Every structure is written in C-alpha cells, then in structure tokens.
Structure 1
Amino acid sequence: MDHLRSQSYRSWLFGEIMLVGLLASATALFTVSSSLQSAYELPEARLVVDTVVAGVALIVAVLSAIRFLVDGRTLDLLLAAGFLAIALGTVVFGLLPVLSGDSLPPWAAWALVGARLLGAALIAVAPFAKGRTSRRRTALLAGGVGVVAVLAAAGFGTSRWGPGKEVALVEGSAVELAAALLAALWLIAVIGFGLRYHRHGRDLDAWLCLAATLALFA
C-alpha cells in the first residue's frame, strides 16, 4: 500500500511539475506578445472568464459547505468561505458593473482584487488547518456572514474614493503589489495541498492543488 501511494505521489508530482512548466511558458509568451495581451483585454473575453470563475467557485463553495456539515472539519469551512468570497466578489464586482456594456470602474476593479485576496488567503490557510467543530451550522453561517460583510465593506470603501484618486490607484506599483500578494497566497495553497496529498494520498487534495496551480498563473 505504501509503495502504491509513493508511486502515485511521484506520478502526480511529475505531472504537477510539467503543468507548472507549461503554464510558466505560456505566461512568458503572453508577457512578450502584444497580440495575446490585446485579446486577453477584450471585454467579452474577460466576461466569459469571470463567469466561469464565479460558477466554478460557487460549486466548490457549496460542495465544501456540504462536506463541512457532514464532517465538521475546519479545512472545509475555510474552503467554503474562500470560494464563496471569490464567487460573490466576481459576480458583484466583476460581472454586474459591466452588464450594461460599460468598462469596469476602478472602484469595482479594486473591490474585485480585494475579494480574490480574501478568498485566496482563506484557501491558503485551509490545508494547514486542523480540528473539527460540533456547532457546524452556526460556524458555517458565521463564515458566510463574515465573507459578505467583508465584501460589502470593501465595495463601500472603494466606491467612496474620489475620481482622480481612483485612476491613480488602479495603475502602477499598487497593482503589482496586489498581484504579487495574490500569487504568493496561491503558491502557499499549492504547497499546502501538495503536502496534504503526500501525507494522506487523498484525491481531493490533488485536485485542490491543481486548482490552486491554475489560479497561480491566471
């Protein structure tokens, strides 16, 4: 059994390394190709991508919430809250403001960044969380309300910025810092779920590691 698990882990690790190499190469190609950047910046393309992200994140959040209600593991609670933050943030700040055909306003763009940072932070902590809780419904409700409250505060706070300040903040070093922080959080999640898969050999950890890897290069 241990030999089979070790062999399975080595096969998974090889595939993960190949995937990282492929995504890194694609990212480098995207960086140096102006035509690919122009296609990526099309509003219709971003709308499709954000819709897919919101749908997948919502499904994972629901499944994680169900697992938490059954098992009561802190891991599942954090996953449910993290993916809920990404799903709600993408819908409220990434999709609704552009449904009328307008471009994404700077305040919504920053609120969307905040929502994804919150989601990534919760997911990054999840693989290292231990323990269970007996008051599962209360904890799940508190987690959901907490996520909604933080997103509401982020949306209200960014919408209060003045027009000139909005334009200045949506470009430059602040964006690079936010992107670096988001990438670091997803990298922590990749490492965490990879270590969990090595210890326990559960397919769920492998899939979550794959999702975090894709998010790292998104």
Structure 2
Amino acid sequence: MTEERLRVVLAEDSVVLRDGMAELLAVRGCEVVAAVATAEDLVAAVAAHRPQVAVVDVRMPPTHTDEGVRAALRIREAHPGVGVLVFSQHLEASWAARLLAGGAAGVGYLLKERVARTSEFVDSLRRVAAGGTALDPEVVGHLMRARRRSAVDALTPREREVLALMAEGRSNRAVAERLSVSERAVEKHVAAVFAKFGLLASPADNRRVLAVLAYLSETG
C-alpha cells in the first residue's frame, strides 16, 4: 500500500536550502505545495493551500529576528488543523514555550544541526501532521529549565526561606524552630512550593528531594 503524500508548505529564506529541502522532501514522498522565503508569504501560502504541515525557520526577513516563529503562532491560531514544525539553527526557548502553550498536538521544534538523516526529519513531519509532537531533546531541556526558573521566581520570600532550609536537610519541625513559626505554617509553605513546582504526590517520588533539586539547579 502506497503511503499518502504529505502536503507541505516550506518557509526558508535561503534559496539554496529551500530548493534542496524541497527536492529531498519530494524524493521522500512529500508534496511541497509552496516554498516561500518570507513569513508573510508563509501565512498566505498556508491559507491558500491548506497543507497538512508547515515548516518554518525562526528568523526570517526582513529583520531576521523572530518573524518566522510569529508566523507559526498565527498559523496555529488561524488554522489549528495544520501542523507546524519549526526547523532552525536557533533555539528560542521562550518562543517554543509560546508555541506549546495551547497544547503540544501538531507542534514540532527541531534544530538543523542535530537532524542526522532525512528519514528522521520526514518521520517528524508526518508525526506533527498527524497531531503528534516532535521536539529536539535540547529544546525539551531548555523548556524544563525555563519552567523551573519560572517556578522559583513565583515563590514568596517566606517560601524561599523554607525551601532554602529544606535544602540544608532540615525537617519541617527544624524549619519551624529556625523561623519561629508553627510547624503547621511550615507545612502550608511546603505544600505551596510543591504546587508551584508542579510536584504531585507519588509513591515513586520524594517531592521534598525533587523540590530541593529544582531549587538548587536554579540558584546554585
């Protein structure tokens, strides 16, 4: 049984890379319905051709800053059924987080220098087109670190104090004695820390240890 040809819109400002990618994708059973050089042309091409997936670089003309990923967000909003795969040499964790904010279905973010084979890239394209996710491990790592930084920043001064004392290996009772508060108050602060770090109760994990590790990784 012949595999269905994947309809792709390709956005890449380098004509050499754009033409080369279009040829490689065609060989791998994809139909590049449009290959464009700018973010505005990308948005227009998606609206006109309604592909299954759009491939876009982060930085595109005219400023080569974030036009491509802004266009990806517009496509996600206007055409939620179209998968979006960011394919770039630039890792922008904040933009990756915004792309994933509405859900990870149909989103990919791959780094050009880390894709070893065309077959892997096409497999990722098909996965994103089908509503799946394709994220480079380095992108995931940056997102997790950004999430931990955000969680630490969200702590109140008292919660930071409690967590810092937890990091010293102190029990709730010892923390309460050090801060001259009730043990019950410390328990409430610890629960708030767990909630802000997204640490749910699990028999397999020690939330106290995980919270301390997250805190130390961002403040150490």
Which structure carries more relative contact order (alpha carbon 8 Å, separation 6+)?
Answer: 1
Larger Rg: 2
Structure 1 length-normalised TM: 0.20
| Greater helix share, structure number | 1
Q: Which has the higher strand share?
A: 2
TM value normalised by structure 2: 0.20
